[in-house]
Structure 1
Amino acid sequence: MRIEKVKLINFKSHEKGEFEFTDGINLIIGENGSGKTSIIQALKLAFFGKSQNERLRLRDFIRRNESKAHIEITFTAMDGLRYRLSKEIKEGRGRTVLECLNTGERKVVGVHEISTKLMDLLGIRGSGGRIVYDKVINIYQNQIIDIFSKDQTGNFERIFGIDTYRELEEVIREVLKRYRIRREGLEERMGLLEREIEEMGDVEERLRESIHKKMMMEKLRDEKNEIKEKISRRIEDVESRIRIFERVDEMEKKMKIVEEEMENLCDEIEKMERDMEWMKKNEDKYSRYSILKKMVEMDKRRYEDLERTWKRKLKLKDEFTEKMKELDGLRKDRKYLSDERERLNDEMERMNDEIEKLDEELKNMKERLDRIASEEKEVMAELEKLEKVKEKRDRLKYGIENLENNMRKLKMKVEKEDELKREFDLLSDDLKKIEDEIDRLKRLEIERIELEQSKKLLEEQSHSLFEEGICPILREECVNIKNRKNPRNHLERLLHDYAERMKDMDEELKKMYELEKRRDKLIRERMRINHMLDEISDLKKELKDVVKESKNKENELRKMEKILEENDFEGLKRRKDELSGIMREMEGRMKILFDNLKKMIEERKKMEKEADKINREIEKLNDSIENLTVELRNLEKETEDLEEVSKELEKLRVDLQKKESEMGELEDVYRKYVGILEKIKDGYPMKKRRYGELKKRYEKMKKELEYERSKLKGLTKAQLEEMLGKLKTEKDNLEKEMEGILGELGKMEQMMENLKDQVERKRKRMNEKKEVEGMMKKIEIKMKMMKELGEGVKKLINHVGREITLKLSKMATKIHSEITGKNEEIQWRSNENYRVYLVSADKGEREFNMLSGGEQVSVALSLRLAMAEFLTENRLLILDEPTINLDKERKEMLAQVIGEIGKRMDQVILVTHDDIFESIASKRIEVGV
C-alpha cells in the first residue's frame, strides 16, 4: 500500500492544504504548531473514524469559526488499484465516500463498513485493525520503545488475536463457577431428601396393617346391616297392618257420605219430574208468547225505520226552501259580475291605445340616441389615441426629471471613489499586521501546550530521575544529573523556568481574543468598502446609460407635443362633453317614458287578471246555479210521499199496542216456563247419571271394606302397636352399634389416606433422589469437560503466544542484524509477560530495560518491522516526532536505523522538526511555509 496524496480543508490548523507523497522516506518538516501531526491524525481519522476512548470531539478537528472540515486521501491499495477516500466532518455526524479511481465505483458508507473494507485494502490481517495500525504501523511521539519497556500483555494479545482465547477462558471459568454453585445446591438437596426418607421409616407395613383392620370392620358392618334390613321389613309389615285400621275407618266415613248424597239426589229428581208435568200443561201459552214477542220486535224495527224516513223527508223539505233562497242570491251575483266585466274590457281597450303611442315615441328616441352614440364613439376613439400620447408625454417628462436627479446623485457617489480606495488600502495594511500577530500567537499556543506536557512529564518522572539517575525518556543514565552536586535544585530551576515561560505565554495569548475581534471588524469594514467600490464602478457605467437615455426621451417628448397640437385635443374633448350631455338628457327622457310604459303595461296586466278572475267567478256561479237546480228537482221528488209515510207510521203504532197488551197477560206463565226449562235442561239428565255412578261406587266400597278386614287375621290394633314398639327399640340399638362401627371406619380411612400420602411422598422423594443423583453425575462430567477445555485453551494461549513471539523473534533478529550489522539475537518471551531480551556472545542475556537507549531503539524498531511483516501485507511505516528528548548522537543513530528500514519498506512517512533525516529522505514536505 502507498499513500499518494492527502488534502485537508479546515482541518485543525489547516485552512486548505494539499500534500503529495512518494515511495521511500517522506519527511514532513515544520516548526512546532505548524500542523505536522494533524496530517497523521487525518490519516487515522479517515481510515478508522474516531475511537470511543478518544477524549477529542469531532468539533476539535474542525478549524476555529468553521462549521465543517474535509479530508481527502488518494492511495494505492494492496489490490493494485487506486482509491480516493473522502471524509466530511461535522459536529455530531460525518460522511465518508470511498471511490475507486480505476473503475469509477463510488459508494457512501458508514464508519464500520469503511473500516472493514479498508482492512482488506490496507492489507491488515485479523479483526484488530485499529490496534495493529496504532501499535505497529503508526509510531507516535515517545512510543518507539514504550510498548516493549513495560507490561503490554493485553495489547499484544489483542494484536495477535489471542484476546479471543482469553475471553473464552473467562467464559469457561464463569461456566465452571455456575456448575459448582449448581452442584452445591444439588448436594444440599440430596441431604434434605435422605433425611426426609429416613424419617418416614416403614410406612408401607403400617399401611398394610390398616387395610386388614378396615376389611374386618367392614365385614362386621355388613352383618349388622343385614339384621337391620330384616327388622326394617318387619316394622314395615306391622305398620301396614296398623294403616289398614285407619283405611277401614276412612272407608266407612266415605260410604256414609255417598249414602247421604244418593238420598239428596233422589229428592231433587222427584221434584224435577213434577215440574215437567206442569210444563206439558202450559206449553201452548209459552208458544203464543214467543210468537208475539218476535212479531213485536219486527214491528218495532219497522216503526223505527219509518220514523227515520219521515224525519229525513221533513228535513229535506226545509232544505228545499233554503236552496231556493240561495239560488236567487247566486243569480243576482252573476248579474253584478257580468256588468263589472264589461267595464274592465272598455278600460283595457283605452290603455292599449296609449301603450302603442308610448312605444312609438320610445322607438324614435332610441334611433336618435344610437346616432349620437355612434358619433360619441368615434370622438372617444380619437380621444383615446390622443390620451395615450398625452400619458406617454407625461411619463417622459417624469422620467426625464428622475434621470436628471439620478445623474446628480451618481455624480456625487463617483466623486467619493478615490477617498474609498485610500481607506481600503489602509484597512488592508492593518488587517495584514493583525493576522500575522494572530498566527504568531497560535504557534505560541501550540508551543505552550507542548511546554506544559514536557513540564508534566518531568514532574511525573522526577522520582526515577532523582532516585536512580535514569532519564525517563532515554531509559539510560542522565549525564546532566550525574555531573551536578545538587540535581534537585537544577530540576526545580528547570520547572520554574517552564512555569515562567508559560506565564509569559499566557499573558501574550490573552491578546488573541481582542485581536480576533478587531480582525473580524476590519474584515467586515473592508468588505463594505470593497462592495461600495464595486457599486461605484457599476454606477459609472449606469451614468453613461442615463445620459444617453435622457437625450432619447427629450427627442421623443418633442414628437408627442407636436402630435397633440396638430389634432386639436382640447376641441375634441369639448365635443365629447357636449355629446355626453345630449345623451344624458335623452336617456333621462327615455327613462321617464319607459317607466310610464312599464306602469301602464303592469296596470293592464292587473286588469287582465281581474277580468280573468271575474270570468272564473261567473263560471263558478253558473256551475253552482246548475247544481242547485238539479238538487232542487231531486228534493222535490224525495218529499212527494211524506203524507203516506205519516199514515203508515200511525197504523203500525196502534197494532204494536194491541200485541204488547196480549204479551202482558201471558208474561208470568212464560217466565215460570223459562225458569223451569233452564233448570231441567241440563240438570235432570246429569243428576240421573250421578245417582247411577254413586250407586256403583257404594257397592265397590262395600266389597273393598270386607277385603281389608280379612287381612287383619284376628289381631287387634293394640297388639300390633305393641309389636311395632319392640321392633323399633331393637332397630335403634342396632343403629347405635352401627354408628360406632362407622366412626371407627372413618378414623381408619383418614389414617390410611395419611399413610397413602406418606407412601406417595416417599416414592416421589426416592425418584427425586435418583434424578438429583443423575444430575450430579452429569454436572461432574460437564465440570470435568470444562476443566479439560480450560486447560486446553490455556495451553493454546501459551502455545499461540509462544509460536508467534518465537516467529517474530527470528524475524526481528534477522532485521536487527541487517540494520545494525551485529550478530545478536532478539528473544521475545510470551511466557514472561512478553518481556524482550537481547542475547549476544560477549554481553550475555540482557532484558530490554537494561539496554542502552540506542539498543532499545534498534531492538524496538526491529520488532515493530517484524510485526508489520507478520500482521500486514503492506510495507508502510509512519513515525511521529521520533527524536523528541534524544541527544545529537542518538538522533544520528536513529536516522541511520530509519535509513536502513527505508530500504525494506515501500513507504515511510516521518513527521519531524529536525533536519537530521534530510540526507535519507526521498521527498521533503514542508508544513506551515
Structure 2
Amino acid sequence: FMAYKTNNNTWIINRIGLINFWYYDEQEFYFSNGKLLLRGTNGSGKSVTMQSFIPLLLDGNKSPERLDPFGSRARKLENYLLGEDEQGLDENTGYLYMEFIKKETGNTITVGMGLRARKGKPLDFWGFSITDGRRMGSDFLLYKDIGEKIPLSKQELKNRIGSGGDVKEGQGDYMDMVNRLLFGFENIEEYDELVKLLVQLRTPKLSKEFKPTVVYEIMNNSLQPLSDDDLRPLSEAIENMDKIKSHLEMLEESKKAADRLGMEYNKYNRFVLLEKAKEFISCYDELECTEKSEIQLKKESEVYKENQSLAIEEHQRLKSDRERLDHRKQQLEESDFFKASQEIEKIKEELTRLESDQKTKEEGLQKKKDLEMKQKDKLVVLNKEKETDIQGIEDLFKEMDMLAKDIYFDEHEFMRKELMENFLTSYKFKSVRQLLDHYKKKISESKKALEEHKVIERRYDESLQETDEARRLRDEARRTLDKAVIRFDETKEEYTESIYSWEKNNEQLKIPTADMPAVTRAINGYGTSGSFDAIVTEIRKHYNNVASEHQRCILKVQSIKEGLEKNLAEKQAELLEWQNKKDPEPLRDNKVINNRKNLEKKGIPFLPFYSAVEFQSDTPDDVKGRLEEALIDMGILDALIIPEKYFDQISNDDIESADKIIHPNPQFFRQDLTTYLKPAMPEESSITYEDVE
C-alpha cells in the first residue's frame, strides 16, 4: 500500500499495530515494501485484522457495513473492544495505528485512532498523527506501563504528542488530515472517492466475482459526479443564453416595428417636405411676379402721372365746353319739338335694348345647354375619380391599419371611423397631427426608456459576468490556496526528507536518532507556531557541539602545527647554514679550536680530513652512511692532515690539545680507505695531493 510520491520518494506502509483491540493486547504486523501476506484458515481473523485498518484508518468511517467485506451490519467496533455480550467488558480503550516510511530517507509518519467503548453509550473516537519522526515502541508508547499496560486517554495522548503531530476528534477532520499528510488530493471529495473505490474493489475479490463487467461497473460508479458548483456556471450560461435569445427576439421585433415606423415616418417627412417645397416654389414665383408687377406699376405710374397732367388740362377744357353746352341745352329744352324728338329716341332705344336682351338670352340658353352637357361628362369623370379615390383611401386605410397596429396607435381607429362617417366632408387633421405628435413623443420617450433599459440590462449582464468572474476567481483562489497549503506541506515534507538524507550522508555532523523528531517538529511547525530559526536552532545545537569539538581539535592541531613550524623554521635555517658552507664544520671543543689557531699563528698548514677527501662515485649510499658514522666515532673525520715536513714544528702542547693529527703509515697490498675515498682538496689549500694520498 503506497501513498503519493514526493520527489520520487514514496510513502510506503511499513507496519500496523493494535493495542487492546479484539484478541490482541499488543501486536504489530510488518510489511515488506508496502505488502503484507496473511496466511490462515477460514475464520482465523485475516479479514477482521485487515478491515480494522483499511479502509478504517484511511477515512475513520466506523459504519458497520464498512467493517464487513460483504457489506453486512453485523460487525460493530464496540464488539471488538468490549467482547461478546455474555462475557464482555463494561468499558475499554484501544488503539489502531499504521506507520508509513520513505525508504530513501528513512523518515516516518504514523496515523491511527483511539477508541473508547462503554456499554449503553456511543463509541468515543479520536484520530491522531505523529509527524516528527517518533516511532511506536522506541520513541512513543500508546499506553502507560505501571505494572500493567493501560492505554492512554484522549487528553493524555494530546499531551504526549504535543507539537509533534495532531489529534482530531471528528471523522471528517481525521480524513482530511490523512489525505493532507499522505495522499495530497486537492479536495476531500476526490479522496473519499478513492476510499470508496478501494471498498468496492475489495468486495468482488472476496466474493470471487472479479469479472470485467464488475470492474467496469465499479470504475464507472467511482467517477465523481458533478457538484452544484461545477454545474452552476453551465446552468447560468444556458440561462443567460435563453435570456439573451428572448431579448434578441424582442429587439428584432422592436427593430422591425421601428423600421416600419421609420419608413412611414420618412414617407410623411418626404410628403411634408414636398408640400413645403411646392409652397416655397409658389411663393418664390409669386415673389418674382410681384417684383415684376412692381416694376411695371412704377412704369405705369409714370405714364399715369403724365396722363394725369394731360387729363387735368383736358378736364379744364371739357369743363368749359360743358358749361357752354349746358347753357345751349337749356335753351333747346325749352322748345316742344325737342321734347317729342327726345321721346321717340327713348322708345327706339328701348326697342333696341329688348331685341338685344332677347338675343343675349337665346345665346345664354345655348351656353347653358352646352354647359349642362359638359357638366354631365365631367360628373361621369368625377364619379370614376371618386371611386378610384375611395379605393385609394381604403388602401391607405389598410396600410395605416397595419402601421397603427405595429406601432400600437389606438387613436387611428377613431380617426378612421370619423373619416368614414363624414367621407364627403372636409376633415381637419389638426387633432390627428396633435395626437400623432404626442404619440411620437411617447415613442421617443419609450425608445429612450428602451435604450436605458438596454443599458441597465447590459450593466446587469456585466454585473452577472463580474459576479461569475468573481465567483470563478474566488473558487480559483480557494483552489490555489488549497494547492498552496498542499504544496507547503509537501515542501516541508521534502525539506524533512532532505534533512534526513543530509544527516544520513554527513560524516562529521551526525544528529542522534533520538533528536531527529525535534528537528521534524520544528519543520512541521514552520509557518504556524514557529519560524525558520526554530529549525536552525535545532540543527545548531548539534552543530555547536560538533563545532566546539572541532574547534578544540583545531586549536590542538594548530598548537602542534605552530611547534612543528617553529622547529621546521629552525631546521630550515640550520639547513640553509649548512648548505651555504662548502664543507660544514662539525662541533669542536674549545681546546681543538685554540690549537688550530696556534697552528695558523705558527704558519703550519693543515686541512681537516673531511675537507680533503670525497666519496668515490661508485660508493653506495648505505656504505657512505656507515663509513661516515665510523669515521666520526673514531675521531678521524675532523682530524688534521699536516704535511710531513712540519711534524718537527709541532710541540707537545699541540699534541696534548685534544686535537687529532693523522700521520701517514702506508699499508701495501691491504684494503684501505682509498677503496671508497679519493683526495679532493680546495684549490686555495696549501696541502698537496701527495700529502693526502
TM over 0.5: no
TM-score (norm 2): 0.27
Q: Which has the higher helix share?
A: 1
Which structure is richer in relative contact order (CA contacts within 8 A, separation 6 or more)?
A: 1
TM-score (norm 1): 0.21
